[in-house]
Structure 1
Amino acid sequence: MLKIRRVFLSFKKFLPKNFRKAFLLLYIFGLVLGLILTLVYAFVPSFVTCASFFAENFCTPAGIFLILALSLPGYLVAGNILALLPEIPWVPSLIIVIVTSGAFYFLIGLLIDKKRRKKISVSGINKLVIYLSFGLLLLFLISLLQAII
């Protein structure tokens, strides 16, 4: 029992003090890693990931897949807003999606930081998970409705 407590305390040292910065830095690190993996794809062409998304099967280099997966919140939020605008160039669209994803991860970290300051109960964590799940499901629903229309 004492060894388990020591392991838990040593693991607690590695937890970040500020989740806002940690989530944002992990997102940026993931984007850089995705770019590096995309460059590696030029030398290793078998470095491909296949997936199914919204009933569409596609194969893409692993680095691009990582970037797409990490930027999914930005695609869901900013993509729905950008779909209402007339045709814009891809560079501003890409920047808007990346900034929106970064803001999403920053806000998730901010919520976790606020909850850490308070006494966290199991019901509070459950409410937070339910709200986040409903928010993401709402964004998926908006995306699907726009695809149908």
Structure 2
Amino acid sequence: MEIKSKCKEKLHNPSSVYKIAQRHVKLAKIRLQAIQKQKHKQASMHNINTEEQNKQLWRDEEQKKSFLNALINSISKGDDDAKKIEAMNCMITSHQERFQSLMEKDLSGCRSKYLDYVSEHISKYGVKLCLAFEMEVAKHCGETSLIHDWDT
């Protein structure tokens, strides 16, 4: 009984209640600081990751441009269309996955902007080369890659 009455006395004592409340506030502040530090750390890691992703995207774009320019150059060199077509086929076959990813439609169902870019450059060299290029696209990516979804 004596312990119980002492506990009740302490609980009803304004100074002890105040001290308990102060401890709870202090613990809450410590927890809040820890949470804020963790969030700050995560935010800084997110910024680093975003920066790295941007650098990677830039490198990927540079690689795409490099591949497309090499493809166009393989078609533009020389006078013999058969050799140009052979060089184009060889390059596409050796980089098949990259070629497929560049020539596929985008999410909205539009023809690939890279397909249009290469087609525009190849059109300068004649119909035979344009047809050969479109046949390669159809072979590796399917005929539907050559048209917009709304054209069907």
The answer to which structure has the higher helix fraction is 2
Highest RCO, 1 vs 2 (Cα 8 Å, sep ≥ 6): 1
Larger radius of gyration: 2
Same fold per TM (> 0.5)? no
TM-score interval w.r.t. the shorter chain?
Answer: under 0.3
